[in-house]
């Protein structure tokens, strides 16, 4: 795209400029192609009349005259183009985008074989290289004016942990062996305990601060505990105890024989759970849950063409979603969505406690101020001791207030989930099962297909999915 200059200035011609002003184009306008009385000096003067003083190509002007290049724009002047800088960028030497979703197979079941896999690195391995910004170069227009180039920006150093930064090579290296992720602009390398074989009485219990990855099976009677991370088991789990601060992923399943126990601060995932007690703060995902006792802080999702919940008790604060519930033998299965207690009463009590603590803190703060003034005036040692005692009391009250605030937030979040509570059956629910939603109970007396159960007012309604 070009900007037109005033054609009258040239008297029978016009000049246009490139957008950045680094090029000028001359167009001589004439209907008489047999006559040319132009000279190079004449054309240069006419260019200068519109400000073109830099980079005039006299050879090109002579060519315009000799070849009678009329009624067409010809580039006759060129300055120096500006060269924009290039922003700095990071080259990640590992897979930063991880597909953590399980695979849905043709029969509708879920394959967890690759679920939870995160790239691993070795101590000293280069994981990220920083490429600095490339400087810019300003240009000069055909009118002799400076063309400002866009400058390249340097990126801030990566934050996170588990790595060492080489300032000369601008490389990030792993501080130790572990799992590596780049999420929310943070580079994290966490130590991982990798157990190649089984965990059994022979190996003993396993306790580790961060992630634990067991390539084999977890056999009867052992405990596996991650104090801050996830636990992944590639093989099967028997009647063992597994506790994780974050997620538990069993790529096969668990036959607990009535003694197996799982506890997670995040999600619990596995192909099947049979005769297992599970407590988790977020979701449970499986292809089958049989004769188990489940307490879930969010959703229980049993997926697949034959995804079934049969026997035992399954509780979720929000949704329970399954393909089949129960069987033709009418084995009793209890499903509880939402909450049983009166959350409004708990919230009211919590708010009262927060107000009371707030009033106490205000009094303590006021007395502290008065004591401080007296200390400054008198310097009495007994007042200093009183100040310290008040400070200790204030810290105790602040801690209590923080705990109550967190408790209130938890109740509010739970109330929000409980308001959405429902049970969804994709295929069929058999008679004999019991459904409780936010404390209201209903017994299933006949087969229902493709239905959802939800609480409305003082009762439970059942309706077809999609209605």
CA distance linking residue 272 with residue 255, whole number of Å: 8
pLDDT band (50, 70, 90) for residue 344: low
The rounded mean pLDDT for the chain is 87
Question: Phi and psi for 134 in degrees, rounded to 5?
Answer: -95, 130
Residue whose entry in the numeric block shows the structure tokens 């011609």: 13
Question: What's the rounded mean pLDDT across residues 334-349?
Answer: 76
Question: Is residue 186 exposed (0-12), middle (13-18) or buried (19+ Cβ within 10 Å)?
Answer: exposed
Give the pLDDT mean for 393-399.
Answer: 90
Share of the chain above pLDDT 90, in %: 51
Q: Where are the domains of the chain?
A: 2-78, 89-108+116-138+145-190, 343-418
Q: What is the pLDDT of residue 5?
A: 43
Phi, psi of 308 (to 5 degrees): -130, 140
Residues 6+ apart with CB under 8 A from 66: none
For residues 77 and 32, which has the higher predicted lDDT (pLDDT)? 77
pTM, two decimals, is 0.63
**421-450 confidence digits (pLDDT tens):** 899 999 999 998 999 888 888 899 999 999
List CB contacts of 371: < 8 A, sequence separation 6 or more.
383, 386, 387, 390
The answer to whether 412 and 388 are in contact (CB under 8 A) is no
Q: Please give the backbone phi and psi of residue 347, each rounded to the nearest 5 degrees, phi first.
A: -65, -45
């Amino acid at each position: 795209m070009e900007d037109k200059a005033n054609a009258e200035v040239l008297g029978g011609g016009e000049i246009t400029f490139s957008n950045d002003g680094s090029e000028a184009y001359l167009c001589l306008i004439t209907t008489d192609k047999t006559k040319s009385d132009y000279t190079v000096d004449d054309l240069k003067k006419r260019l200068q009349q519109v400000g073109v003083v830099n980079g005039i190509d006299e050879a090109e002007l002579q060519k315009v005259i000799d070849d009678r290049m009329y009624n067409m724009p010809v580039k006759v002047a060129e300055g120096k183009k500006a060269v924009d800088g290039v922003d700095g960028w990071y080259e990640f030497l590992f897979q930063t985008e991880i597909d953590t979703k399980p695979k849905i197979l043709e029969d509708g079941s879920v394959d967890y074989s690759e679920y939870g896999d995160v790239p691993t690195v070795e101590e000293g391995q280069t994981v990220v290289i920083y490429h600095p910004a490339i400087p810019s170069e300003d240009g000069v227009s055909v009118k002799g004016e400076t063309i400002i180039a866009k400058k390249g920006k340097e990126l801030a150093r990566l934050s996170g942990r588990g790595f060492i930064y080489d300032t000369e090579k601008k490389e990030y290296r792993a501080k130790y062996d572990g799992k590596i992720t780049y999420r929310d602009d943070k580079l994290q390398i966490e130590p991982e305990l990798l157990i190649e074989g089984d965990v059994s009485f022979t190996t003993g219990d396993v306790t580790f601060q961060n992630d634990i990855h067991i390539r084999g099976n977890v056999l009867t009677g052992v405990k596996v505990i991650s104090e801050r991370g996830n636990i992944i088991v590639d093989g099967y789990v028997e009647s063992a105890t597994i506790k994780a601060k974050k997620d538990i992923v069993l790529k096969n399943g668990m036959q607990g024989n009535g003694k197996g126990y799982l506890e997670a601060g995040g999600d619990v995932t596995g192909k099947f759970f049979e005769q297992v007690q599970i407590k988790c703060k977020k979701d449970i995902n499986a292809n089958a849950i049989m004769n188990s006792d489940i307490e879930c802080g969010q959703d229980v999702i049993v997926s697949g063409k034959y995804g079934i919940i049969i026997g035992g008790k399954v509780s979720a604060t929000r949704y329970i979603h399954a393909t089949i519930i129960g069987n033709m033998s009418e084995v009793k299965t209890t499903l509880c969505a939402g909450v049983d207690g009166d959350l409004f009463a708990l919230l009211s009590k919590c708010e009262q406690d927060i107000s009371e603590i707030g009033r106490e803190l205000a009094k303590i703060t006021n007395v502290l101020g008065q004591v401080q003034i007296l200390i400054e005036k008198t310097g009495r040692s007994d007042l200093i001791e009183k100040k310290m005692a008040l400070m200790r009391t204030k810290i105790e009250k602040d801690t209590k207030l923080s705990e109550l605030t967190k408790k209130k937030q938890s109740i509010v979040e739970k109330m929000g989930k409980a308001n959405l509570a429902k049970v969804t059956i994709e295929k069929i629910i058999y008679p004999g099962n019991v459904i409780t939603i936010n404390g209201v109970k209903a017994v299933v007396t006949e087969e229902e297909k493709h239905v959802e159960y939800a609480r409305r007012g003082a009762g439970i309604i059942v309706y077809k999915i999609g209605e």
